[in-house]
Amino acid sequence: MTEIAVQVEALRHVYPDGHVALDGVDLTVAAGERVAVLGPNGAGKTTLMLHLNGVLTASSGSVRVGGTPVNRKNLHDIRQRVGLVFQDPDDQLFMPTVAQDVAFGPANFGLRGQALADRVASALATVSLTDEAGRNPTHLSAGQRRRAALATVLACDPQILVLDEPSANLDPVARRELAETLSELDATMLIVTHDLPYAAQLCDRAVVVDHGVVVADGGINEILADEALLAAHRLELPWGFAVRN
C-alpha cells in the first residue's frame, strides 16, 4: 500500500472574528506526491497549509502527518517532519548571516557541532548558496533570499515541504533557478500558488480550494485544461500558455 504522508479530514477553521476560512476540507496526499494547491485569494489555501505543522489549530476535524495527529502534544515531532516556506522570505531570515539563519532550525531541534555544520553546508549546497554563507541575508537578491529561506527549512531535514507562493515577485531567471532546485528535491510537496504554469512545471496533481472547501482534485493537466472550472474559481492561465497532454 502507498504510504500516506498527509491526511486531512473534515477540517474546519473559524477565525476569532467569526470568518469561516475552512469548512470541511478532506485531503489525502501520498508520500512522494507533489500537489499544487490552487484557488482565488481568500479561498483558505494558506489557512490550510498552516494547519499542517500546527501553526494554526483546527476548530474541528483532524490533520495527520504520517499517521501522527497534529496536536500540541506532537508539535515538536510534526515540525521536524513538515517544513513551511513562507511567501515572504523575510519571515524566515533574521540572523546576521545566511549560515546562521540556516543553522537556527536544526540547532533548536538539538543538532550540535559537526553534525550541525554538515547539515548547514548540505542545505546551502542544495540551493546553490554555499558562497553566500557569510553574507547578510538583506544583501541577497530576491531569488537568493527565497532560496535561503528554503535552505532554512531543508536544514531541518523535513519529509514534507509546504511552500506558499514560491515564485511570487521573482524575475524569470530566479523563478527558473528555484524551480530547478525544487524539482531535484526528494520530498513530498504541497505548493500553494496562483502561478499556474509553475504548478504545471513542478506538480502532477492539483487541488482547487474555494470558500474553504476542496472543489476539484485531479491531474494537473486535467485541472488546467478545464476552462470552466478555472473561470468559476477566478483562476486563469497566462496568454499563450498551452496545457500539455
Q: Assess if residue 208 is contained within a domain.
A: yes
For residue 27, pLDDT over 90 is answered with yes
pLDDT-derived band at 149 (thresholds 50, 70, 90) equals: very high
d(CA 54, CA 72): 8
User: What pLDDT is recorded for position 193?
Assistant: 93
Give the dihedral sign, CA 79/82/87/92: positive
Q: What ranges in the chain are assigned the alpha helix state H?
A: 45-51, 75-81, 98-108, 113-126, 142-154, 172-183, 196-202, 220-225, 227-232
For residue 212, pLDDT over 90 is answered with yes
Q: Assess if residue 63 is contained within a domain.
A: yes
User: What pLDDT is recorded for position 39?
Assistant: 95
Domain that holds residue 60: 4-89+158-232
Q: Could you identify the residue written with the cell 486535467?
A: 222
For 114-133, the pLDDT digits (tens) are 999 999 999 999 999 999 99
- The pTM score is 0.92
For residue 206, pLDDT over 90 is answered with yes
Q: Assess if residue 139 is contained within a domain.
A: no
For 63-86, the pLDDT digits (tens) are 999 999 999 999 999 999 999 999
User: What pLDDT is recorded for position 239?
Assistant: 80
User: What is the rounded average pLDDT of the residues 91-104?
Assistant: 96
Q: Assess if residue 150 is contained within a domain.
A: no
Q: Assess if residue 224 is contained within a domain.
A: yes
CATH of residue 170's domain is: 3.40.50.300
